[in-house]
Amino acid sequence: MSADERWFPSHLGEMTEEECLEQLATNQVGRVSYCDQAGPVVLPVNYRWEQGSVLFRTSPDSLLAKYMDSEHASFQIDEYDVYNQSGWSVLVRGAASHVGDAELPDDELPMAWAEGARTLRIRIIPHEVSGRWLLPG
Amino acid sequence: MSADERWFPSHLGEMTEEECLEQLATNQVGRVSYCDQAGPVVLPVNYRWEQGSVLFRTSPDSLLAKYMDSEHASFQIDEYDVYNQSGWSVLVRGAASHVGDAELPDDELPMAWAEGARTLRIRIIPHEVSGRWLLPG
């Protein structure tokens, strides 16, 4: 069944904050985003939701390291079902910063999936969390 | 098996342009992104890759409509496997514009999954396409 053959469009609805936080707590991969002079950059990372913030590791000499020291970062997760044309998405807008060893025990951060010395710890503290359901029509 | 129990990290590699374009042509859902004064916004859309550009529909009174008339837009797709800690992602950076009825036949655009009058047609023409594989370690 293709999109063009469906009779009923899917229904959009706002997720409650509790629903957003539950998805953030139960997923492992999302997309971190920042703006440079050419616009937004969106990159997947494996993360952990801990103490009300998004935590992940990266390489200290990456572009992510440079841009994840900003009041204007975002983090996004979603899931969708092509057959039912449904899904959900959660967007976290907030402040990204580098986290020192003394601030946070190392075992509260996930190990990075990717190889390389991903010794830099990043935290995004939300200013705003929002999400939407797209329910089958 | 959790991330902390794995012995071998996954290998990162650049995707060729051909690999990026193949993923863009064969997927149906991605994330469109723009920057406002508070930073990046990342929102899922169902799309079609046609004539070397990303096409999708939205509502003419949406924020997306407002921001998708810009030289600085992005579009991202990815897929990942939590068990193998692997996946890929493709990032399109380019110019977003509203597409008139005369410019493009309506049947080249996908029907929007979501309900509502999604009569506005958006095209993102890439300045730059890049992608990365994360292969199991």
Give the pLDDT confidence of B37-53 residue by residue, as tens digits.
Answer: 999 999 999 999 999 99
pLDDT of residue A109: 86
CB contact under 8 A, B114 and A12: yes
Read off φ and ψ for residue B109, nearest 5 degrees.
Answer: -100, 145
Amino acid identity at A63: L
Strand pairing class (A53-58; A48-50): antiparallel
Range with lowest mean pLDDT among A32-41, A124-133, B102-111: B102-111
B 13-52 → A contacts, CB under 8 A: 28-29, 31, 33-35, 38-44, 46
For residues A55 and A110, the answer to whether their CB atoms sit within 8 Å is yes
pLDDT of residue A4: 46
CB contact under 8 A, A87 and B41: no
Reference A93, options A59, A134, A128; nearest CA is: A128
pLDDT of residue A2: 47
Interface test with B, best of A32, A42, A92 (most B CBs within 10 A): A42
State the nearest Cα–Cα gap between B49 and chain A, in angstroms. 15
Gap between the Cα atoms of B59 and B64, Å rounded: 8
Residues in chain B: 137
Q: Which residues of B touch A91 (CB under 8 A)?
A: 41-43
Gap between the Cα atoms of B22 and B38, Å rounded: 33
A8-59 pLDDT, tens per residue? 789 999 999 999 999 999 999 999 999 999 999 999 999 999 999 999 999 9
State the nearest Cα–Cα gap between B34 and chain A, in angstroms. 6
CB contact under 8 A, A112 and B40: no
Reference B115, options A16, A78, A6; nearest CA is: A6
* Distances from the Cα of B133 to the Cα of A57, B46, B51, angstroms: 18, 22, 25
Range with lowest mean pLDDT among A2-11, B16-25, B57-66: A2-11
Mean pLDDT value across residues B10-22 = 96
State the nearest Cα–Cα gap between A3 and chain B, in angstroms. 6
Asked if A102 has any chain B CB less than 8 Å from its own CB, the reply is no
Gap between the Cα atoms of B61 and A76, Å rounded: 23
Mean pLDDT value across residues B17-45 = 97
Question: What dihedral do alpha carbons A112, A109, B76, B69 form, nearest 10°?
Answer: -140
Q: Is 80 exceeded by the pLDDT of residue B4? A: no
pLDDT of residue B1: 42
Q: Is 80 exceeded by the pLDDT of residue B81? A: yes
- Helix, strand or coil, per DSSP, at residue B21: helix
Mean pLDDT value across residues B86-92 = 97
CB contact under 8 A, A72 and B46: no
Q: Is 90 exceeded by the pLDDT of residue B65? A: yes
pLDDT of residue B104: 85
pLDDT of residue B7: 60
pLDDT of residue B123: 97
pLDDT of residue B31: 98
For residues B124 and B70, the answer to whether their CB atoms sit within 8 Å is no
Mean model confidence pLDDT for chain A: 92
Asked if B58 has any chain A CB less than 8 Å from its own CB, the reply is no
Q: Is 80 exceeded by the pLDDT of residue A7? A: no
pLDDT of residue A107: 83
Q: Is 90 exceeded by the pLDDT of residue B102? A: no
CB neighbours of residue B137 within 10 Å: 15
Gap between the Cα atoms of A93 and A109, Å rounded: 20
Q: What percent of chain A has pLDDT over 70?
A: 95
The tokens describing B128, both together, are 């730059």
Q: Which of A9, A113, A116 sits opposite B114 (nearest CB)?
A: A9
pLDDT band at B3 (very low <50, low <70, confident <90, very high): very low
For residues A65 and A73, the answer to whether their CB atoms sit within 8 Å is no
Q: What angle do CA A62, A68, A74 make, to 5 degrees?
A: 125
Read off φ and ψ for residue B107, nearest 5 degrees.
Answer: -75, 0
Amino acid identity at A47: Y
Gap between the Cα atoms of A41 and B73, Å rounded: 9
Interface test with B, best of A7, A27, A29, A35 (most B CBs within 10 A): A35
